């Protein structure tokens, strides 16, 4: 069941990369709002926080998809190596 979830999450690495870069871009926007609150009105800090948490979630989801793609490749290689070992052992 966990492997099916990993395969499904990592099935589209381009989409995961797009989510990751979008989250990083929004994160940079949040950091800009924090910097703006340093030089101007401190209430910009709250806008930065409001943007920061969704940015981290989007980037985290994208990173998880990228990781799942790599991990699913490891699982597939391990399964094929085990099958090859079992087939060679039974002969």
Rounded to an integer, the average pLDDT of 67-73 is: 89
8 Å CB contact between 47 and 91:
no
Residue 79 to residues 7, 12, 28, 58, 88: CA-CA distances in angstroms? 14, 21, 41, 31, 14
Q: For 14-45, how does the pLDDT look when each residue is reduced to its tens digit (9 = 90+)?
A: 999 999 999 999 999 999 999 999 998 888 99
Q: Which two tokens stand for residue 63?
A: 């990173």
Q: For 4-13, how does the pLDDT look when each residue is reduced to its tens digit (9 = 90+)?
A: 888 887 888 8
Provide the pLDDT for residue 49. 94
Confidence category of residue 59, pLDDT binned at 50, 70, 90: very high
| Helix, coil or strand: residue 88 | helix
| Helix, coil or strand: residue 41 | coil
Confidence category of residue 91, pLDDT binned at 50, 70, 90: low
What are the extents of the domains in the chain?
12-90
């Amino acid at each position: 069941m966990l492997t099916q979830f990993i395969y499904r999450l990592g099935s589209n690495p381009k989409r995961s990369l797009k989510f990751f870069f979008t989250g990083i871009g929004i994160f940079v926007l949040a950091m800009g709002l924090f910097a703006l609150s340093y030089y101007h009105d401190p209430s910009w800090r709250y806008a930065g926080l409001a943007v920061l948490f969704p940015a981290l979630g989007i980037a985290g989801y994208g990173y998880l998809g990228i990781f799942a793609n790599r991990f699913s490749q490891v699982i597939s290689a391990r399964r094929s190596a085990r099958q090859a070992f079992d087939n060679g052992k039974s002969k």
